[in-house]
Amino acid sequence: MTKSKKPDKPSQLKNKDALSIAATPGHQAVLKTNDIVAEQASAIDALVGTVPYNSNKALEYGHDNALAPLPGATAEPRSIALTASTATEDTGTAKTGSAVRPGTNPTVASLNRVRVDASDRPLTTNQGVRISDNQNSLKAGLRGPSLLEDFILREKITHFDHERIPERIVHARGSGAHGYFKAYDALGKYTRAAPFAEEGKITPVFVRFSTVAGERGSKDTARDVRGFAVKFYSDEGNWDLVGNNMPVFFIQDAMKFPDLVHAVKPEPHHGMPQAASAHDTFWDFVSLMPESTHMLMWLMSDRALPRSYRMMQGFGVHTFRLVNEEGQSIFCKFHWKPRQGTHALLWDEAVKISGADPDFHRRDLWEAIESGEFPEWELGLQLFTEEQAAGFSFDVLDATKLIPEELVPVTPVGLMVLNRNPDNFFAETEQVAFCTAHIIPGIDFSNDPLLAGRIHSYVDTQISRLGGANFHEIPINSPLASVQNNQRDGMHRQALNRGRVAYEPNSLAGGCPFQAGASQSAVSQAGNGGFMSFPDRVSEDKVRGKPEKFAEHYLQATLFFNSQTAVEKAHITDAFRFELSKVAVPAIRSRMLSSLVNVCPDLAAEVAAGLGMDLPDAMPKAILEPQLPEVTASAALSMMALPGECGIRTRQVAILIEEGIQYSSLLSLYDALTEAGAVVHFVGPRIGIFTCASSEKIEADRSLENSPAVLFDAAVLPDGNEAVRALAANKHTSGFIKDLYRHCKTILALGDGRELLDIAGVGPGVDENEGILMADNSSLAAIVPDFIHAVAAHRHPSRDPATKAEAS
């Protein structure tokens, strides 16, 4: 299969000209951050400023006023975009539709039918009755008792009391976005699935990213697996590709899924720890389930601490089938590759970010899309036959195993772009219902026993969470394809089915709706034939058990560890040591160490030393002489293999400022960084306006107090003796610079700014370290490309303490 030319990258919102120099009333031109959200925030502030106080407040009191309440005060925005939920409202698909018309509440077609805008409209009850007074309940006299007949109060309070639904048992903490998938080529040779039907075909999607273990209010940066679920609104129905950012899982059979989740959730006797696997019950369980070992290597790696949802891979985990129009089948595994590259946080960063901004990943995704920096992933397929699968040293139905790319390469087949934020978090991100059972013609299941349980579990969960079997009628879940079925009634039913017939076959409705059949029908309304399960021949005993190849538990864990760079191996070692140090029962720690001996004796020894324990003997294996692996190291398993294609686009760069900074050097640097796509923030000891040595103005949109260094990818230390002295005296500056250095991020010191490195204790000799750059006015232009290149590298491992320790 040949790969066609990639679709052109969507045009980005060019905000530099609009934001870099902004005139403000009463001030000269002010250099501001290049955040397009700041422009909208400024306009919103102007709108809000037209309502300095509640002019009707004084009229809420007294008998005469109670009889003649006035309409609420309004202010006219200069653009309807100012009152939108998202700046991407105009970026629509066939599912999201276009921007809402002011003051309308459409009830048909795309999501516009439920997108409500209140411009120039009075408040009403749920029944459309206008509310004359929304400030007071109905009372018998001004000081009398409230009356039971106040249906407006009762409706308002009753709805409020029922605003929450049960959260997901797993994947409760999530963020979502709309977008589209564009196929590179027609894949009719392999599948009749609608998204791959022709070159360039566009299919709307909604994607939800999530953590797994934590509750809905937990932090984004926990060490955890990340969910990566994609809903394709295809013209032959909805297809949900429900996966993770890791290609394997902890268990082999769905029978063990409740046990796994019960083990990793907060311990039931005291409800701790939240969103963490570092506790006794989890490690007790996995140390008794050696098939979990491969997944544990991924969980202890940097993959469990992504820098951004936009910078992590996605995997379908299971083996699926593709089926073409002739009924021929081929096995398939799904891979999502981010164009931003795969990048991670350090553990120390993740811990500090969780305190500074628990919504770090949610905010990152939202702000990138709002500013027009639309995240992109390439979908790739590993395609292989049943005959090939039978010859592998592992079983492709085992979800604890992956297929090395050296064995089966990944073929790129299309590009996914997320280009629109949701209007309402609850209605879309919280109510979206994914299910592995949601497949379309051309996609089918394998006999993976973990997948079989998920096919049932997800539907059952949504029925519980979303109030009944009609969750598919919630707008975010409803397909674009026509729905015609004989289902009726139930909680929250919205479809108004005409006629008397709710069964098949029938004659009272002329036989409709009728079954589609297996192939193209002569009846024009039928279109293509219906879904047909692949006729996989089954002739086995009915048993409870696992295939023999499932018994090998360690070779791919060793493959993963051997495929990591030195610094990645050090981070895995550190993670095991930290997690097991939280385990209170020594016997559980010892049992887990005995399992790690089977992965890598050196790894187990380092972890044991870090725990002050003797290294135990290796845990007995379930199979003594497994088939030798085809691949013993795979570069594709290291995050370093995917540095990305986007340079410093969306990278957050902090420029420290104070009174008296040198303006000229910052202006040229600012222009270069924004031109390359970075998001520049001016960070001062406070927010607001600062005056440069040459009298120009710069506005700080962040402060050293509210935005610590862990929220940025790189930083610039300014020139200017007066500014440097003031920054050196600030209690936050030294810690800010130390964290930048400790986390191996790029630092550029301009002129006098290099003194701040010494004050922070980072120097001397710091200029010999990778990722630390120095410049003055005469050399700045020459060093800017080096700075941009260094920021694009994400991090400089040669400064990582783990690497230095290994080198010594």
Host H or E run for residue 226:
strand 226-234
- 695: tokens are 């009298």
Q: Which residues are within 8 A (CB) of 799 and not within 5 positions of it... i.e. 6 or more apart?
A: 741, 744, 769, 770, 771
If you average pLDDT over residues 656-665, what whole number do you get? 93
Q: Indicate the angle between helix axes 36-49 and 360-370, nearest 10 degrees.
A: 90
Question: Considering only CA atoms, which of 808, 469, 406, 463 is closest in space to residue 636?
Answer: 406
pLDDT tens digits, residue range 4-34?
Answer: 444 444 333 233 332 333 334 444 567 777 7
Amino acid at 191: T
Provide the pairing of β-strand 329-338 with 411-420.
unpaired
Quote the CA–CA distance of 156 and 125 in Å, as a whole number: 8
Dihedral of the alpha carbons of 185, 189, 195, 199, in degrees to the nearest 10: 20
pLDDT tens digits, residue range 620-629?
Answer: 999 989 999 9
CB atoms within 10 A of CB 147: 12
Q: Are 576 and 606 in contact (CB under 8 A)?
A: no
pLDDT at 491: 86
Quote the CA–CA distance of 48 and 3 in Å, as a whole number: 52
- In the DSSP assignment, the letter for residue 429 is I
Q: Which of 13-27, 150-164, 763-777 has the lowest mean pLDDT?
A: 13-27
pLDDT at residue 297 greater than cutoff 50: yes
Catalytic residue among 15, 112, 238, 244: 244
Q: Which of 21-30, 402-411, 508-517, 752-761 has the lowest mean pLDDT?
A: 21-30
- 674: tokens are 């924004």
Q: Which of 277-286, 533-542, 754-763 has the lowest mean pLDDT?
A: 533-542
Amino acid at 125: T
Q: Would residue 171 show up in a list of annotated catalytic residues for this protein? A: yes
pLDDT tens digits, residue range 299-322?
Answer: 999 999 999 999 999 999 999 999
Helix then strand then coil, % of the chain, to nearest 5: 35, 15, 50
Q: Which residue bears the tokens 């809905």?
A: 216
- 304: tokens are 């469990």
Dihedral of the alpha carbons of 449, 452, 456, 462, in degrees to the nearest 10: 90
Mapped onto helix, strand or coil, the DSSP state of residue 104 is coil
Length of the chain, please? 808
pLDDT at 5: 43
Quote the CA–CA distance of 387 and 389 in Å, as a whole number: 5
pLDDT at residue 652 greater than cutoff 50: yes
pLDDT band for position 512 (50/70/90)?
A: confident
- Note every long-range contact of 588-596, with CB atoms under 8 Å and residues 24 or more positions apart, other chains counting: 588/280, 588/283, 588/284, 588/287, 589/283, 589/613, 590/616, 591/287, 591/288, 591/616, 591/619, 592/283, 592/286, 592/287, 594/618, 594/619, 595/287, 595/290, 595/293, 595/619, 596/293
Q: Which of 47-61, 375-389, 513-527, 788-802 has the lowest mean pLDDT?
A: 513-527
Q: Are 220 and 360 in contact (CB under 8 A)?
A: yes
CB atoms within 10 A of CB 521: 16
Burial class (CB in 10 A: 0-12, 13-18, 19+), 420: buried
Q: What is the mean pLDDT of the chain?
A: 87
Q: Are 286 and 250 in contact (CB under 8 A)?
A: yes
Residue 686 CA, chain-centre distance (Å), reads: 31
Q: Which of 193-207, 468-482, 791-805 has the lowest mean pLDDT?
A: 791-805
The 3-state secondary structure of 176-197 reads EEEEEEEECCCCCCCCCCHHHC
Burial class (CB in 10 A: 0-12, 13-18, 19+), 807: exposed
Bridge partners (DSSP) of residue 652 are 679
- Give the distance between the most distant pair of CA atoms in the chain: 92
Q: Which residues are within 8 A (CB) of 635 and not within 5 positions of it... i.e. 6 or more apart?
A: 563, 641
pLDDT at 646: 93
pTM listed for this prediction: 0.85
Bridge partners (DSSP) of residue 688 are 700
Tell me whether the omega of the peptide bond preceding residue 375 falls within 30 degrees of 0, making it cis: no
Catalytic residue among 34, 171, 245, 571: 171
Q: Which residue bears the tokens 């051997």?
A: 562
pLDDT tens digits, residue range 230-251?
Answer: 999 998 889 999 999 999 999 9
If you average pLDDT over residues 269-289, what whole number do you get? 95
In 517-599, the DSSP E strands lie at none
Bridge partners (DSSP) of residue 748 are 716, 773
Across 561-565, 643-647, 664-668, 779-783, the highest mean pLDDT is recorded for 561-565
pLDDT at residue 198 greater than cutoff 80: yes
pLDDT at 520: 47
Q: What DSSP letter does each residue of 719-744 carry, written as one string? A: P-HHHHHHHHHSTTHHHHHHHHHHTT
pLDDT at 2: 43
- Per DSSP, helices labelled H in 441-540 are 449-465
Q: Which residues are within 8 A (CB) of 61 and not within 5 positions of it... i.e. 6 or more apart?
A: none
- 422: tokens are 């949701």
β-sheet with 772-775: strand ranges across:
702-703, 679-684, 652-656, 714-717, 746-750, 772-775
